[in-house]
Amino acid sequence: MLPDGSTKVSISSSQRERPKSVYAKGKGSTIFRHREAKPCCLCWCCCFSCSCLSLHGTQPKIPNSGVVMKQRNEKPTSEDVKRWSKSFDCLMNHKVGQQMFADFLKSEFSEENILFWQACEDLKREKNSDKIEEKARIIYEDFVSILSPKEISLDSRVREIVNNNMARPNAHTFDEAQAQIYTLMQRDSYPRFIGSEFFKQLRFTFADTE
């Protein structure tokens, strides 16, 4: 007890030195790190051990995406458009439908998911090993790196798989990530696309051409 009636509070050295933690919200997940954590470097290969990659999130059921999707290239019919309204797979299996979906996402300023998915499809078609490594590096920098303005939302488990795969990039480096993004588009973007004026006009246009 001090002369003025107040109580002296002592703080141990361990309490003074304990680092404070902060939460930094990322896309669809929460990043937990100490204030002392070093910022990510610009090099994709150095991000593997960065503390910013310690993400926590849910793990949705992920379909297999190890095989390149075969697309139809012919002009769509009104029946095709009807199928698109009922099946995301049918939409993505048709080159024109996929492009329409990409245009819609671009109008929403959220085209990074479809661009990443398409880049992964292109990577799986590549046969030249040197080009595979180069394309994998570009995909990582453009869509997976937390420094990218087009960063996609991946949970911690899938992000760790991608980081490990980048030690030896191959045509299937991003299979798990691609599957997760496909599921995300199907669950989130596809219903908005089907219910949009964009798609209603699309159905009307193709109905008039037959």
**Which CATH superfamily groups domain 78-208?**
Regulator of G-protein Signalling 4, domain 2 (1.10.167.10)
Q: Output the pLDDT for position 205.
A: 84
pLDDT of residue 73: 59
> Where is average pLDDT lowest: 41-50, 82-91, 193-202?
41-50
Instruction: Confirm if 58 and 73 have CB atoms less than 8 A apart.
Output: no
And the tokens for 104? 């819609």
Backbone angles phi, psi at 30, to 5 degrees: -120, 130
Q: Model confidence over 108-117: pLDDT tens digits?
A: 998 999 999 9
Between vectors from CA 34 to CA 31 and to CA 37, what angle results, nearest 5°?
Answer: 95
Torsion of CA 95, 99, 100, 104, to 10 degrees: 150
Per-residue pLDDT reduced to its tens digit, 117-141: 999 999 999 999 999 999 999 999 9
- pTM, two decimals, is 0.65
User: What residue segments make up the domains of the chain, in order of their start?
Assistant: 78-208
pLDDT at position 49 is: 34
Cα distance between residue 195 and residue 199, in whole Å:
7
